[in-house]
A and B are shown apart, each in its own frame.
Chain A
Amino acid sequence: MAVLTVGLLAFGATRSSGPSTQEERIDAISKRLACPTCSGESIYVSRASAAESIRNEIARQVAAGQRGDNEIVAFIESRFPGSLLLPPTEGVDSLVWVLPVVALVCGFGGLVVVFRRWQREGRARANPDDADIVAAALREHDDPTDGL
């Protein structure tokens, strides 16, 4: 039951329903693109003239139904280079998304290996010389005048 619950939760969390209406598609595409004349704003948010023109073009292309979302984004990016707010999730560019996760996993794995090594070293048994040193230290502690 627990496995089934976790599986369903994972499926629900990762499943992408995608925009269902044209308006939702226009909004989704607009949020992926930066306004070319205003700093730090998306086409979706900006009220600048250039942003409105681009939003109109997105709406026109969505209504025409000849291009997918990624193709429309690529078209706008070709006309206004540097307008991508998020790196693409396809091709070599997808490494931008994958590499941080790989680095995180490798870092976590490295920590696990190091901690285990330290744990093993912590269990090392004392040799006779170590025991003599400890015994001498204890004697000194029990009788501080012993050494005078």
Chain B
Amino acid sequence: MVGLVLVAFFVVLAVSKPREEADVASPLIGNPAPSVRSTLVGEGDFDLSRRKGSWVVLNFFNSTCVPCRNEHPELVAFADEQAGLGDGAELFSVINDDTDEAVSAFFAEKGGDWDKVRDPDGTIAVAFGVAKVPETWVIDPSGFVRMRVVGEVTNSFLSGRIDSMRAMMSGSGS
């Protein structure tokens, strides 16, 4: 009987679908993004305020977290798709509790040539209220936070939401 219950439990776990992607509330939504200044893996600096004029996607990740590894192909597809657009969004990975070496090895293996932002003491994560990875944040060209997604994200969801926000903003601006 106990064995039957255990088998049923594992079957439920195996066939259950992961949580649907959805926006998650945050007091930052609709407000100016926190100030983010750091350095990039490899070389270069990162200053979020200097990205104004572009849609910016910050993906908080860790190379050992399973959901982060699962969503990576989707982020690669998203980055490729946005690169083909004239005003495509800029994707940045924010490294959460991980080393440069591990992150570089992960990207070398899995692909993706966007910039990786260091966050050695967790300042960026705390500024956005990120406790667990992956989390994805979208910041509009004016520097306002527009969306937060907790957990895995897909290319279609991210692109679709940014497209609709872009259309809404261009509609309200005209």
Which A residues have a C-beta under 8 Å from some C-beta of B?
A: 36-37, 49-50, 52-54, 56-57, 60, 76, 78-80
Check B27–A36 contact: CB distance below 8 A.
no
Cα A80 to Cα B125 with chains together (Å): 11
Check A37–B126 contact: CB distance below 8 A.
no
Given the contacts A49-B96, A49-B97, A80 and B129 also touching, CB distance less than 8 Å:
yes
Cα A79 to Cα B96 with chains together (Å): 17
Chain B positions 112-136 with a Cβ under 8 Å from a chain A Cβ: 121-123, 125-129, 131-132
Distance in Å: Cβ of B68 to nearest Cβ of chain A: 14
Distance in Å: Cβ of B157 to nearest Cβ of chain A: 24
Collect the chain B residues with CB atoms within 8 Å of residue A49's CB: 96-97, 122
Collect the chain B residues with CB atoms within 8 Å of residue A57's CB: 122-123, 126-127
Majority-rule SS of A interface residues: helix
Cα A53 to Cα B121 with chains together (Å): 6
Cα A60 to Cα B131 with chains together (Å): 18
Check A53–B132 contact: CB distance below 8 A.
no
Task: Tally inter-chain residue pairs, CB-CB below 8 A.
Answer: 38
Which B residues have a C-beta under 8 Å from some C-beta of A?
A: 27, 96-97, 121-123, 125-129, 131-132
Collect the chain A residues with CB atoms within 8 Å of residue B27's CB: 78-79
Cα A76 to Cα B123 with chains together (Å): 12
Check A50–B132 contact: CB distance below 8 A.
yes
Collect the chain A residues with CB atoms within 8 Å of residue B123's CB: 53, 56-57, 60
Further contacts, 19 of them, CB under 8 A, given A36-B131, A79-B27, A79-B127 = A37-B131, A37-B132, A49-B97, A49-B122, A50-B122, A50-B125, A52-B122, A53-B121, A53-B122, A53-B123, A53-B125, A54-B126, A56-B122, A56-B126, A57-B123, A57-B127, A60-B121, A60-B123, A79-B129
Residue of A53, A60, A76 ringed by the most chain B CB atoms within 10 A: A53
In this complex, what residue of A is CB-closest to B97? A49
Collect the chain B residues with CB atoms within 8 Å of residue A37's CB: 131-132
Cα A76 to Cα B128 with chains together (Å): 10
Collect the chain A residues with CB atoms within 8 Å of residue B126's CB: 53-54, 56-57, 76, 79
